[in-house]
Amino acid sequence: MTVAIVDYGSGNLRSAAKAFERAAAESGKGERILVTSSAAEIAAADRVVLPGVGAFGDCMAGLSALPGMLEALDDAVIRGGRPFLGICVGMQLMAERGVEHGVHRGLGWIAGAVEAIEPAGGLKVPHMGWNELQIDAPAHPIFSGIETGAHFYFVHSYALRCTDPAQCLATVSYGGSIAAVVGRDNMAGTQFHPEKSQANGLRLLANFLAWRP
C-alpha cells in the first residue's frame, strides 16, 4: 500500500514523511511512504496526504502549477474515494476559497472559506503552540484512542469557517471556537500539525493509515 505525500514546494515535507514512516512501522502494516510531485504517482496511490505551510494563495498556486495535479487529486479523492488527509494549509486548501491577501479559489471539497482568526481577549496571532482538542464527532475513526482534551500543536493565523457544521469534526478554543479537524466521506483535514504533536499526533496518523471509509 502506498501513501503519497504531495510535494508542491510548500515547507519541509521530511518531518511529515518521517512521522508517517514511524506510524506505519508502529502499526506493522508496512505502508510505503512516497513524497512526490508526480500527478501519475498521486493517481496510483492508495492514500493521499496534502501538507502545507505558508499563505493560502501561494500554496494553491504551487499545487496548480504541477502538471495534471489538480485533476489527479480529484480523480483519486473525489471520484476514486481514496482516503485523504490535509495538514495545516493542506487542510485549508480543501475549502472553497481563502481570503488571505486577496480571494483565492480552493479545491472546493469542504463548504466554507479560510479567513483570518480574530481572537477575543487580546490573544496573539498567530495561534501558536499546544492546545486542547474538542471532539465533536467522537465516533469518527480518525479519533480512535483520542479523547477530548488531547493536546495538539498549532501554528496558524487563518482558519477554515465551515458552512456545514457537520463537516467540522473537532474544534479548538482560542478566543473563540476554531475548526481543528474537518472532513466528510473519505477525506479529513487537521489545522494542527500531527507530525509535531508527539504521541497524539502519531496516533492520529496511525488511525488515518487504518481508516477504511
Task: Report, as residue numbers or ranges, the catalytic residues.
Answer: 88, 193, 195
Sorted by sequence, the CB contacts under 8 Å of residue 194 that are 6+ apart come out as 19, 87, 152, 200, 201, 202, 204, 205
Consecutive H or E run containing 208: helix 198-210
Q: Between the CA of residue 29 and those of 25, 44, 51, 85, 206, what are the distances in Å?
A: 7, 19, 22, 18, 10
Please name every residue paired with 61 in a beta bridge, in sequence order, or none if there are none. none
